[in-house]
Amino acid sequence: MGTAIVRFSTSVDAPAWGVKRGEHVHRLALDAPHHRDVMACYFDNRSQFDAAVSDTAIAVEDASFHSPLSEQIQLFAQGLNYADHRSESGLSTNEDAGENLLFMKAASSLCGPNDSILRPAGCELLDYEIELGLVLRTDITHAITVTESELPTYIGGMIICNDVSARDLMFGAPMMQWFRGKSQRTFCPAGPVLYLLDEEDFTQLYAMELRLWMNGELKQHATTDLLIHKPAKTLSEISVFSNMNAGDCILTGTPGGVLVGANRKSALAIILNFTNDDKRRKKFVAAQKSQTQFLQPGDVLQLEIKSLNGTINLGGQKNTIAQA
């Protein structure tokens, strides 16, 4: 069974690494400025790691949790990787209908699991996306072909991420800028737990349950057995064109239930106004707002991911939307 790593502080102590066990946190006495350093010790020198875990426990309610992912990483992401999300986006649900959609988020979008999510000035279509993040344990610097049985060699951890998205910036900005629409500050709440995987934990990789609530209403609910493009395939594809480093994170896609949705007016707004950014944005925003209300200041999101058998619990997030 793996280990739940957290980054926490108290009213009197600065941020530090800890191991979460049940409802308590044990301080981790490691000189580790980066989560990749914690992971390296865990996987390469387990006796040193175990000796660094303090016997003294702090109650969870006395701790404030921060993102366990440091900003000096790459955030890779997959889009349209669940059939129901493809369907609500107006696309075919056939696995062969499209390539693995890969993009990046800025690491500066990372924030803590309970931090406020800041809606940028002028943003009208703010949306959520619960995702399982997979954290690399080793560098990949050339093209490789990864098999399912080899995943423990490359993947070291799991984490909850929210791929917060400004849909009007994604589809209304010049040339439809996904990077800008997904990389605003606070657009990637992460944690609280970075769960370091032992080999037997990989039996649960496709049995993780994702749930997201908006103002108490369940909006997203799925399990990772529904992933279309699996992690081994995704690692192999990324390795063809990009280096990956230990500590980097891959967001594996969101299930159905997001606020943005396909409709005829939205599609026409994009197709007929592809070269007219201002007109496309206005028409796309109007079409989307006619069918749902997007995230507003004061709205509260709650997220959790755990294995169906209860052996892995990535904790929970609770974020309030605030105006930047």
Mean pLDDT of 290-318: 98
pLDDT for position 210: 99
Q: Residue 76: beta bridge partners?
A: 104, 250
The average pLDDT across 260-287 equals 88
Nearest to 158 by CA among 8, 306, 9, 309: 306
Per residue in 3-33, pLDDT (tens digit) is: 999 999 998 889 999 999 999 999 999 999 9
Mean pLDDT of the chain: 95
Rounded Cα distance between 256 and 273, Å, is 27
pLDDT number for residue 266: 87
Distance CA 212, CA 17 (A): 27
- Say whether pLDDT at 95 is over 60: no
pLDDT at 271: 84
CA–CA distance, 34 with 188 (Å, rounded to integer): 18
Q: Is the pLDDT score of 251 beyond 90?
A: yes
Residue 172, pLDDT above cutoff 80 = no
Tell me the per-residue pLDDT of 121-159, one tens digit each, with 9 for 90 and over: 999 999 999 999 999 999 999 999 999 999 999 999 999
The per-residue pLDDT for 259 is 96
Q: Could you read off the pLDDT of 52-65 as tens digits, one per residue?
A: 999 999 999 999 99
Residue in this structure with the two tokens 């995704």, named with its chain if needed: 234
Fold of 75-323: Fumarylacetoacetate hydrolase; domain 2 (3.90.850)
**pTM (predicted TM-score):** 0.96
* pLDDT for residue 88: 77
